[in-house]
């Protein structure tokens, strides 16, 4: 079976992990700070807090921004549920901004209209979580210019987009946002098995992010209430969580990060072969842009919605484990119970009806990819 996504682990990765197991602290050692620094160096962000998942990262991002009861957070319906759940964890409420059918990211025109409406009704969001779907950056300049005058915080859910660029800068640099969240789940650009990171350029936000990821406990006497009792002393000054990444995971992350550019180049090559190989088929191929170079986390095509189920099954029968991203968040029963309805975000719903995720990952070789393309021809031409 050819999966839709898969990690790549080499000897260097294994040696890095084994070295920690044999010689180093398993947690709270040197690997986590080194990984955080390497992520800052790669992306250009000033501050980084490594966490134990992208989902934890989204949660602490919301906490650091002070999101709580009575606040509203907007996100894309075309995403993994974690992009919206983070607001609910903080007792805030969630709403969605429909996507653009070409970019499959939050549509800036829809966003502008929704903001105007919310401003009139005095229900502006406190933050927006934008998702760089499939690894292709959102139109951050426009989103920034719409949100900043209204003092709406911007969180980039960049779980798909480590290794991508926007206006010639790495995604993660945070030029047009307050906080950027990464995920290192095995299907993402690099992996630590489970893991994530929170990037920002604002020292106050970075301090809060770290605090909320580490129980709300500090050893910094400047943050303490009263005087320190001595070098052993620490205080809990807020209610945080244990979202730390371990040094075993961080060592894997450091090693993987040295391979990221190679991974992304391989993904881009696979994407180019799909563009050539599928050009004559009745499928809609993804858009791609010079100003937003994709990391090609996913290669999504759209097929006739009446045939999607059949095509999905036929490809599986031929050994190609295509997938579908995403079931729009608002259509999940949990969100339906919150009052969302089918038809509310029709562009994301239509995309879902047609969507098919083809295999793309660094170790997908030319023969395997040709098998995928041949299978697509057998079924669709
Ligand atoms: C993977 C993913 C997450 C969650 O990351 P985890 O590390 O699995 O918790 C969040 N948002 C998006 C868009 C993702 O794809």
Does any ligand 1 atom lie closer than 6 A to the CB of residue 45? no
What is the structure's pLDDT at 56? 98
Nearest CA to ligand 1 atom 10: 82
| Centre of ligand 1 from the C-alpha of residue 297, in Å | 12
Ligand 1 centroid to 221 CA: how many Å? 35
Q: What is the pLDDT of residues 150-176, one digit of tens each?
A: 999 999 999 999 999 999 999 999 999
Closest CA to 74 of 125, 3, 140, 14: 125
- Candidates 240, 358, 237, 28; CA nearest to 36 is 28
Q: How far apart are CA 82 and CA 344, in angstroms?
A: 20
pLDDT number for residue 179: 98
Q: Counting atoms of ligand 1 from 1, which one is nearest the CA of 188?
A: 1
pTM tops 0.85, yes or no: yes
Contact 183 CB / ligand 1 (< 6 Å): yes
Please tell me the predicted confidence (pLDDT) of residue 23. Answer: 95
How many angstroms does the Cα of residue 224 sit away from the middle of ligand 1?
34
What b/e string do you get for 72-85 counting C-beta neighbours within 10 Å, with b at 16 or more?
A: bbbbbbbbbebbbb
Structure confidence by residue, pLDDT tens digits, 301-334: 999 999 999 999 999 999 999 999 999 999 999 9
**How many Å apart are CA 28 and CA 254, to the nearest integer?**
15
Give the confidence band of 381 by pLDDT, cuts at 50, 70, 90.
confident
Q: Ligand 1 center to residue 234 CA distance, Å?
A: 32
* Coil vs helix vs strand at 279: coil
Task: Tell me the CA–centroid distance for residue 266 and ligand 1, in Å.
Answer: 22
Specify the ligand 1 atom closest to the Cα of 83. 11
Index of the ligand 1 atom closest to the CA of residue 58: 10
pLDDT of residue 191 exceeding 90, the answer is yes
Model pLDDT for residues 229-274, shown as the tens digit of each residue? 999 999 999 999 999 999 999 999 999 999 999 999 999 999 999 9
Q: Say how many Å lie between the CA of residue 93 and the centre of ligand 1.
A: 20
Q: Is 160 in the pocket of ligand 1 (CB under 6 A)?
A: yes
State whether the beta carbon of 54 lies less than 6 angstroms from ligand 1: yes
Share of the chain above pLDDT 90, in %: 99
Query: To which H or E segment does residue 355 belong?
Result: strand 355-358
The answer to whether the CB of 295 is under 6 A from ligand 1 is: no
Predicted local distance difference test score (pLDDT) of residue 279: 96
- The residue whose CB lies within 8 Å of the most ligand 1 atoms, and thus the one to mutate among 53, 62, 80, is 80
Name residues whose C-beta falls within 8 Å of residue 73's C-beta, 6 or more positions apart in sequence: 62, 67, 84, 86, 87, 92, 93, 94, 95, 125, 126, 127, 128, 129
Rounded to 5°, the CA angle 64-65-71 comes to 130
Instruction: Please give the average per-residue pLDDT across 124-149, as a whole number.
Output: 98
Mean pLDDT taken over the chain? 97
Q: Which atom of ligand 1 is nearest to the CA of 297?
A: 15
Mean pLDDT of the 28-40 span: 98
Nearest CA to ligand 1 atom 15: 159
Span 52-86, pLDDT tens digits: 999 999 999 999 999 999 999 999 999 999 999 99
CA distance 89 to 199: 20
Does residue 51 sit in helix, strand or coil?
A: strand
Q: Which one of 52, 83, 162, 191 would you pick to mutate in the ligand 1 pocket, going by the greatest count of ligand atoms within 8 A of its CB?
A: 83
Residue with tokens 């371990």: 246
For residue 183, pLDDT beyond 90: yes
Q: Is 185 in the pocket of ligand 1 (CB under 6 A)?
A: yes
Q: Judge contact between 172 and 180, C-beta under 8 A.
A: yes
- What is the rounded average pLDDT of the residues 325-350? 98
- For residue 283 the two structure tokens come to 């499928």
Atom from ligand 1 closest to the CA of residue 195: 7
**DSSP3 helix / strand / coil % (the chain, rounded to 5):** 40, 15, 45
Neighbours of 347 (CB within 10 A): 18
Given a cut of 90, whether residue 215 has pLDDT beyond it is: yes
């Amino acid at each position: 079976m050819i999966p839709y996504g898969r990690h790549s682990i080499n000897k260097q990765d294994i040696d890095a992990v084994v070295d920690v197991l044999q010689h180093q602290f398993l947690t709270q050692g040197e690997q986590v700070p080194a990984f955080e620094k390497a992520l800052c160096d790669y992306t250009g962000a000033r501050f980084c807090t490594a966490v134990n998942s992208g989902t934890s990262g989204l949660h602490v991002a919301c906490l650091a921004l002070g999101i709580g009861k009575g606040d509203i957070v907007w996100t894309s319906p075309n995403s993994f549920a974690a992009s919206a759940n983070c607001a609910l964890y903080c007792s805030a409420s969630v709403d969605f901004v429909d996507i653009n059918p070409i970019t499959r990211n939050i549509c800036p025109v829809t966003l502008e209209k929704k903001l105007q409406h919310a401003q009139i009704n005095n229900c502006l969001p406190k933050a927006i979580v934008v998702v760089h779907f499939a690894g292709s950056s959102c139109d951050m300049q426009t989103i920034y210019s719409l949100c900043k005058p209204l003092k709406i915080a911007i969180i980039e859910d960049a779980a798909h987009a480590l290794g991508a660029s926007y206006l010639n800068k790495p995604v993660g640099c945070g030029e047009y946002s307050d906080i950027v969240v990464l995920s290192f789940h095995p299907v993402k650009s690099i992996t630590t098995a489970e893991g994530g990171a929170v990037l920002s350029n604002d020292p106050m936000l970075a301090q809060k992010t770290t605090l909320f990821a580490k129980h709300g406990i500090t050893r910094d006497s400047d943050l303490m209430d009263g005087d320190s009792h001595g070098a052993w002393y620490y205080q809990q000054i807020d209610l945080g969580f244990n979202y730390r990444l371990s040094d075993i995971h961080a060592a894997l992350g450091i090693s993987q990060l040295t391979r990221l550019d190679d991974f992304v180049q391989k993904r881009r090559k696979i994407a180019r072969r799909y563009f050539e190989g599928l050009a004559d088929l009745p499928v809609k191929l993804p858009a791609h842009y010079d100003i937003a170079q994709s990391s090609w986390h996913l290669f999504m095509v759209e097929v006739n919605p009446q045939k999607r189920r059949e095509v999905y099954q036929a490809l599986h029968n031929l050994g190609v484990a295509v997938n579908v991203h995403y079931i729009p968040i608002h259509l999940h029963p949990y969100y339906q119970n919150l009052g969302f309805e089918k038809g509310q975000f029709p562009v994301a719903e239509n995309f879902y009806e047609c969507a098919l995720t083809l295999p793309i990952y660094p170790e997908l070789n030319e023969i395997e990819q040709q098998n995928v393309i041949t299978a697509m021809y057998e079924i669709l031409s």
